[in-house]
Amino acid sequence: MAKIHTHYDNLKVSRGAPQEVVRAAYKALSQKYHPDKNPGDEKAARIMAILNSAYETLSDPVRRKEHDDWIAAEEWEVAWLESTHQDSEHHEKPRSEAQAWATEPVSRPRRYRPWKDVRWWGGMGAMLALGCLIGVA
């Protein structure tokens, strides 16, 4: 299954990490990538912006819950797409190029012949009997 990159990954913590662990991870990473320690380094500035956003989300219980719900929805969608993709792969028979271009005989659908059906004859008999009854009366 494809992995979804989340704020937890940005801070390098597990999804169930308590608030103290999230804060400690943010502190350690922000000390490493802080712009004051890396002047003029655009990559460090981008990483610091990502870390700030991740910490902002994970430090707020409401936003963290929304983020967790988003992760669950994304993982469900990825799992569903992968399962439908795998199902379609299993149903297709592997064919060589020659087999793919070979013409397969097409059978014509059988036509319905009502006079070969017992129900048709029963209906015809009922109509004939009804016609005779109406004609006699």
Domain range list for the chain: 7-90
b/e per residue 77-88 (b: at least 16 CB within 10 A): eeeeeeeeeeee
Amino acid occupying residue 79: A
Name the residue type at position 128: L
Residues 56-112: pLDDT tens digits? 999 999 999 999 999 988 888 888 888 877 655 555 555 565 555 555 555 666 776
Q: Over 90: is that where the pLDDT of 7 sits?
A: yes
CATH tag, 7-90: 1.10.287.110
CA distance 5 to 9: 6
